[in-house]
Amino acid sequence: MHRGKGMKFVGDSRVPAERKPNIPKDYSEFPGKTEAFWPNFLLKEWMVGAVFLIGYLCLTIAHPSPLERIADPTDTGYLPLPDWYFLFLYQLLKYSFASGPYNIIGAFIIPGIAFGALMLAPFIDRGPERRPAKRPFATGFMLLAIAAVFFLTWQSATQVDWKAREEQGKIREEVAIDKNSEGYKIMQEQTCLTCHGDNLQGGPAAPALTGIDLSPEEIANIAKNGKGNMPKGVFKGSDKELKTLSEFVGNLGKE
């Protein structure tokens, strides 16, 4: 605190008379390369943190997480798939040298060697060199690992039928189905349920029939003439039964 001409008033011995910049002494090896943790360094950290936080917030709002319907342990038709960051491990288990009787190779040995090597890297690679070009083994193995992960993830992703997955996981409104109704019984007789499911919920062989946007006439036509992967001539009953059935399906979840 300076008051007056060249005079220093310091009543409290804990307050230094000279105001020094809030920078710690240089470490002798790194002159001029240090900075104060508080507030200089932390401020930088927080600014970067805020940028990422806001970025992630925008991303989650723009792309909500792709939630699927509630898991149903009795649904054996559901094909599970790991999240994208585990697809490479999942893909590994599809190769003949790492599956079936050799499952232990794909499940434990190969991943074990890769992650084990990563953990042991500080003990194996003990040189003082930090430039990647001067560490051919470490850099080479890392590039190899990255290439392998990319390749396996890509291989796995191309083998997935993403449209069918979206369909099987879709969140659908619960539709109450009257299993004693005439229409339901006709569907049972006409084998519709073997493909479309006992609750018309759909399955690996056919889509759900709840909440479809088709008129009874269109449904009757599909029942007789098929559509896409649905074969022709599934329905073999009378015209009256066909009418009851198509009205039953057309009215599902509409009352």
> How would you class 87 by CB atoms within 10 Å of its CB: exposed for 0-12, middle for 13-18, buried for 19 or more?
buried
Shortest distance, CB of residue 94 to ligand HEC, whole angstroms? Answer: 26
With a CB cutoff of 8 Å and minimum separation 6, the contacts of 12 are: none
How near is the Cβ of 241 to ligand HEC at its closest, in Å? 10
State in angstroms the smallest separation of the CB of 133 from ligand HEC: 56
Phi/psi for 190 (5° steps) reads -85, 15
Binding mask 7-36 for ligand HEC (x = CB under 6 A): ------------------------------
Is 195 within any annotated ligand binding site?
yes
Q: What are phi and psi of 144, to 5 degrees?
A: -60, -45
Residue whose structure tokens are 């690679």 = 125
HSE-CB of 152 using CA atoms within 13 angstroms: 20
58 marked among binding-site residues: no
Q: Determine if 183 is a binding residue for ligand HEC (CB under 6 A).
A: no
The answer to whether 175 contacts ligand HEC (rule: CB under 6 A) is no
* Residues sharing a CB contact under 8 Å with residue 244, sequence separation 6 or more, in sequence order: 182, 183, 186
Q: How far is the CB of 44 from ligand HEC (least distance, A)?
A: 55
Does 219 sit near ligand HEC (CB under 6 A)? yes
Of 152 and 242, the one with the shorter C-beta distance to ligand HEC is 242
For 81, the enclosing helix (H) or strand (E) is none
Identity of the residue, 83 or 213, whose beta carbon is nearer to ligand HEC in the bound complex: 213
**Stretch binding ligand HEC (CB under 6 A), from 43-51, 113-121, 162-170, 209-217:** 209-217
Work out the burial of residue 249: count CB atoms within 10 Å of its CB; fewer than 13 is exposed, 13-18 middle, 19 or more buried: buried
Query: Would you count residue 230 as binding ligand HEC (CB under 6 A)?
Result: yes
- Number of Cβ within 10 Å of residue 202's Cβ equals 19
Nearest CA among 208, 217, 220, 218 for reference residue 253:
208
Is the bond into 39 cis (omega within 30 degrees of 0)?
yes
Does residue 234 touch ligand HEC according to CB under 6 A?
Answer: yes
Residue span binding ligand HEC (CB under 6 A) among the ranges 35-43, 74-82, 144-152, 203-211: 203-211
Instruction: Give 139 or 188: the residue with its C-beta nearer to ligand HEC.
Output: 188
Among candidate residues 6, 40, 8, 5, the one with its CA nearest the CA of residue 22: 40
Based on the shown chain and the rule CB under 6 A, indicate whether residue 184 belongs to the binding site for ligand HEC: no
Q: Under the rule (CB under 6 A), what is the footprint of ligand HEC?
A: 187, 190-192, 194-196, 205-207, 209, 212, 214, 219, 222-223, 227-231, 234-235, 245, 249
Instruction: Provide the annotated binding site for heme c.
Output: 192, 195-196
